[in-house]
Each structure stands twice: as structure tokens, then as C-alpha cells.
Structure 1
Amino acid sequence: MGRAFAHKQQWETAIINYRKAIDINPSIQLLHSSLNHAIQASQVKQKSTVVTNKVITNPKDLCGLDATSSPDSKPSKNIFWIASYPKSGNTWMRYILAHLLFGASEREDVRKQVGQTIPDLHYHKNVFDAPEINFSRCSKVAFAKTHTCGFPDLKTVNPVGFIYIYRHPLDVLMSAINYCYISGHKHFFHDHRLHSPEELKQNGKINWYVERFMQDLKIDNYYKMSNTWLNHVHTWLALAEHHPMSLVVKYEDLLDNTFEHLKKLSDLFDKTDNEIKEAIEFSHEHTNDGGKFFWKKKSRNYENYLEPKLIDKFNSKYADVLSKLGYDNFE
């Protein structure tokens, strides 16, 4: 019933039915994800209704709908989120936007500028201190990075828009393995010893990680923060269907033709094509670190580590969702 009403975008009724289902069997994680999905969509719909029923004389009225507050409450802060599941290109996008919107340059430490202008919710935790900018569609808006499954649950924050980047789940897993290796996260590995993807490929242990991931697309290190990869993608794509200031991009498309798939930034942020191209070039110069944080930065990297039979098994199990996301040509 919850799914049926959600399909019709009758979110309040869907929420009621999802909660009833959770009461019956609270152990099914998909129910919790679906409920969160419906709640997020309902909130976006309510804000859209406010805009629809309001006489808009200034495009800036699209933002700051929750900015009014009583004298005793903390003013709301407009935040435009840069969202993705971990290891899907979020930091790359931040480098582009740091130059495009905040003029990040080589005159200072570039990495520090990115962290200050578009802070990472999960590390810096200073999104309320992030600098604000104005553009025609929104005034006084700050930018921040998140890996949460849907909008972060932060009081006095008004999510005015977002960019969402998704990536093939097997490349997410390969990148996660490498990141845990270079970061010294021993608890991620089956024997609590550090292993590079190359080593796991050579000793055949990498199949164990893929088989485990294949069960429900869950990466233990990221689950508390981001839920499963599947629930994460479904939640953000549902939000994008109802949010006028959103852009969804596939990581592989950005690799193939970054500018072509970021043209919409000109409409969102009043920037010229040349400005966007310059920002992309700037990001390319500073996100090629010799395979450290950004590692391979390539499409279908998993093919270099996994046996074709295992890849086929994975793609077959998740054929429907992969096809909808544009990965049907990866067979």
C-alpha cells in the first residue's frame, strides 16, 4: 500500500502505510528507507505548494521559504547540498564549484579553500559558518557536502537545492576498498589487516567483498552515514523529481564529457559557458593526485579487478535499477 500511494505521489497516505508496515516488521531496512523517502518527498512537495500558491514577483522568493523566524529562534540558513554516496565524485564537484562560485585559486591552498567554501558536513561540521552568496534564483545561500540518505536532518536549515552524483556501485566498492587501504582503516578488511585492491585481486579475496556487497549493496563503513547504495540513490532521485533547483549527474558522464553534463549550472547559478569550462579545467588540475584520494578516476575500473562471471552475476541481479540509471550498456 505504501508503494502504491508513493507511486501516485500521495505521500502522506504512503507515510501512514509505511509506518504501519514497520510496526508489523521493523527489521526490514527497505521499509525505513521508503518511509524516509516519502517524508523527504512530502516536505519538498509542501514547499513547492507554498511557491505555487504564492504570487512570485522576484525569483529570489524561490529560496528562503523557511527563513522567517520568531525573535527567539535561530534564523534559517539556506543551503545548497552537494550530495552523493561516498566515493562517487562529490569532492571533484566541490572543486568545480569552489572555483566557479567562490573564485578558488592557486594563490592559496586549494584544498583548504574547497573545505572552507563548501564544507563537508561529516568532517568539518561547520555548515552554518559557510560563506553565503547571491544569485538571481536565490539570495544568501551557502553550499555544503553531504553523504546522507536524503537531506540531512538539521534544524534551521532550508535545503534550497542540490546536485546529486551517482556512480556504478561496483566502482564505488573498488574505490572504497582503496580508500580504506590508504587511510589505514583496518576494521574494514576481513582479517583486520590492510590490503590494496591489487593484493586482493591477486590472492582472490576480492571476490569475498563483492559477494558480501552484492547481498544488499551495503558497505559497513558507510552504512550509518549513508544507508545502502540502493536506498541512497532511490531517495535522492525521488527528491529530484519534485525539486526545481536540482541536478542529477552520472559520474561516468562527467568523465566522458564534463562540460556537456554540467551545462545546467549556467541556469542554476547565472554563469557563462566559459566560466563553467574554466572551473572544470581548474578541477582537473587539482584532482589528479597520482592515485591517492582520487585514485583511478575512471569508468568501469572494476573490470580490472573482477572476473567477468562475477560482474555478470552482479549486473544480472541488479539489472533493473542499473538499466534505469543508464548502465544497461555495461553488459
Structure 2
Amino acid sequence: MDRATRYTWGGTHYFYLASFPRSGNHFVRYMIDDVLGPHYHHANPIFKRTLGFTRVVWPTLSVGHLAKAKLVMVKTHLQYQHCHSGIPVVYLVRDPRDSLLSYYHYNCKYHDYTESFDGFFQRFVVERRLISKRERVLANFMGDWRENALSFLDSPWVLTKRYEDLLDDTATHLEEICRFVAIDPDVVDRLAVEQAVTMAEQRLAEKRSNTAGRTRGVSGSWHSHFSDEQATIIQDLYGDVMTEYGYAG
């Protein structure tokens, strides 16, 4: 990547932290916050509806934030083609079976979803119907897991990280991410990275202790929840792209 030509506006550099929902986006975002410090800020894309058409517009920051933010993360679930060109992207990908199971628990907690996982699977995967109004708007830009993950394959300016690899060696992958997005990679301090990982692990452990019966952030938990039929449906729908990311079988 040519850092001299990367996208800037008003002296501020931007990058995307992109993923399909429930793929570690928040987990990584908070660690980047801790490593990159006070001259860094995060924002979200804005969706505007005009004359019945929904479009994505660039996030706006207050004057105060722009004055201090030299680097801005735009956290998103958009497919690659809806992102601005010339902006570095960190793409987080997770086994779609674990991602879907996590998404089910998320909807139960935050959207008062009361159906069983089987009902959720039928609605979300087979019928492709989303739960909340916001998600239904987002769906046109997000796509399903396959469409989302496929859009980032072999795309320029993209650093891809598997959620499972992040769990195995968080510090190494977090340092690579921070060096990829930082204006000056040399400012990324290994000690700060390790401290950020420690704080993230503490936050995750606390969340897990408060969600009894759920497998929050755990890799491979889908095995104890998916039926053979559901696993076959996922393989039929997403299998080709799962293989590209190392999730076959």
C-alpha cells in the first residue's frame, strides 16, 4: 500500500473495519482504540433515505473530533463495493455457522427475539428475512455471509483476518492490523498491543460470565447447536466461499 496516496480528508486518514455481523468487529475495535490512542477516532457509515431510495453517505465528525483525530476508523458491515475506493480495509471473517449462532443470541438479547434457533435459521438463512428495521435497510448493502465475504476476496487494499486466528494469537494479529492502518507503523508499540489484548480478554471474560448458557466469542460452538440438515444447508449455500477462507467441512 502506498501510504502517501491513501484517502484523506482535511488532513485526516481513514480506514474501514469491515465484517459480516458477529465476526469480532467490536472485539477488535476496542483493542485498536487502546493501541492507537488519543489521535484516533471511530465512526459508522450513515444511511439516508431519499425519495424511497436508501443510500450510504460518508460519516460526519464534529469539529472537535476532526481537530484531534488524525486517523478515523469506519466500522461497517457493508460489502466491499459499497466502500469508498482507495481506503485501507481490515476485513474480519468468521466461520458463518458460529457467526449465525452468535447473531441468534444477539437478536434474542437486544431485539426480544423469542423463536427457537431452528425458527431463526429458517427465517434468516433460508428465507433471508432480518429481524430489526435497521437490519432490513442494511441487508441490501450487507448481503448474506457468502455475498459479504466474497466481495472482499482478492480486493485491493484489504487485510483479511480470520476471527479464529485472532483468538489463537491475538497480539501478533492485532499488531499487524495496527501497523497496516497506522499513518506511521513505527508508532505501534508491542507493549501497548499486549496491554490492549489483556484488557480485551478481561472484557470478554466478564461478558461470558454474564451470559450463562451462551457460547460468547467461542470458536466451533455451532457443532452443539446445528442439526445435520442445517449444516448441509450452510455448506450448500456458502461452501465455495467457506473453502476460500479455510472453513470447509
Same fold at TM > 0.5: yes
- In structure 2, C-alpha distance between the alignment counterparts of 1:133 and 1:236, rounded to whole Å: 31
Structure 1 position 234, deviation (Å): 1.3
- In structure 1, C-alpha distance between the alignment counterparts of 2:246 and 2:68, rounded to whole Å: 34
Matched-pair contact (CA < 8 Å) for 2:146–2:238 = no
Distance 1:133 1:285, change over 3 A: farther
- Counterparts in 2 of 1:85-234, with a 5 A limit? 85-102=20-37, 117-121=41-45, 127-129=60-62, 130=65, 140-150=70-80, 152=82, 160-186=87-113, 194-195=114-115, 200=116, 206-215=117-126, 218=128, 220-221=130-131, 222-225=135-138, 226-234=142-150
Partner of 1:314: 234
Q: Does 1:81 align with 2:16?
A: yes
- In structure 2, C-alpha distance between the alignment counterparts of 1:213 and 1:183, rounded to whole Å: 16
- Which residue of the other structure, out of 258, 270, 283, is the alignment partner of 2:170? 258
- In structure 1, C-alpha distance between the alignment counterparts of 2:164 and 2:124, rounded to whole Å: 21
Structure 1 position 229, deviation (Å): 1.7
Secondary structure at 1:296 match in 2: coil
- In structure 2, C-alpha distance between the alignment counterparts of 1:219 and 1:280, rounded to whole Å: 36
Secondary structure at 1:179 match in 2: helix
RMSD: 3.4
Matched-pair contact (CA < 8 Å) for 1:83–1:162 = yes
Q: Deviations over 1:251-304 (max 9, x none)?
A: 111122212333423532321333222211122222342355x96110122222
Per chain length, whose mean CA-contact separation is higher, i.e. which structure has more relative contact order (CA < 8 Å, sep 6+)? 2
Distance 1:131 1:93, change over 3 A: farther
Distance 1:63 1:256, change over 3 A: same
Structure 1 position 219, deviation (Å): 5.2
- In structure 1, C-alpha distance between the alignment counterparts of 2:81 and 2:174, rounded to whole Å: 22
Partner of 1:8: none
Q: In the alignment, residue 191 of structure 2 is paired with which amino acid? A: N
- In structure 1, C-alpha distance between the alignment counterparts of 2:23 and 2:98, rounded to whole Å: 8
Partner of 1:37: none
Alignment gaps of 5+ in structure 2: 48-57
Distance 1:131 1:276, change over 3 A: farther
Q: Please identify which structure carries the higher strand content.
A: 2
Distance 1:238 1:220, change over 3 A: farther
Secondary structure at 1:144 match in 2: strand
Partner of 1:285: 202
Matched-pair contact (CA < 8 Å) for 1:122–1:146 = no
- In structure 1, C-alpha distance between the alignment counterparts of 2:228 and 2:247, rounded to whole Å: 16
Distance 1:285 1:219, change over 3 A: farther
Structure 1 position 307, deviation (Å): 2.2
Q: Deviations over 1:195-241 (max 9, x none)?
A: 4xxxx2xxxxx33433454447x4524353122221111112343xx
Matched-pair contact (CA < 8 Å) for 1:79–1:158 = no
Distance 1:215 1:181, change over 3 A: closer
Q: In the alignment, residue 253 of structure 1 is paired with which amino acid? A: D
Matched-pair contact (CA < 8 Å) for 2:22–2:102 = yes
Secondary structure at 1:326 match in 2: coil
Q: In the alignment, residue 326 of structure 1 is paired with which amino acid? A: G
Structure 1 position 176, deviation (Å): 1.5
Matched-pair contact (CA < 8 Å) for 1:146–1:152 = no
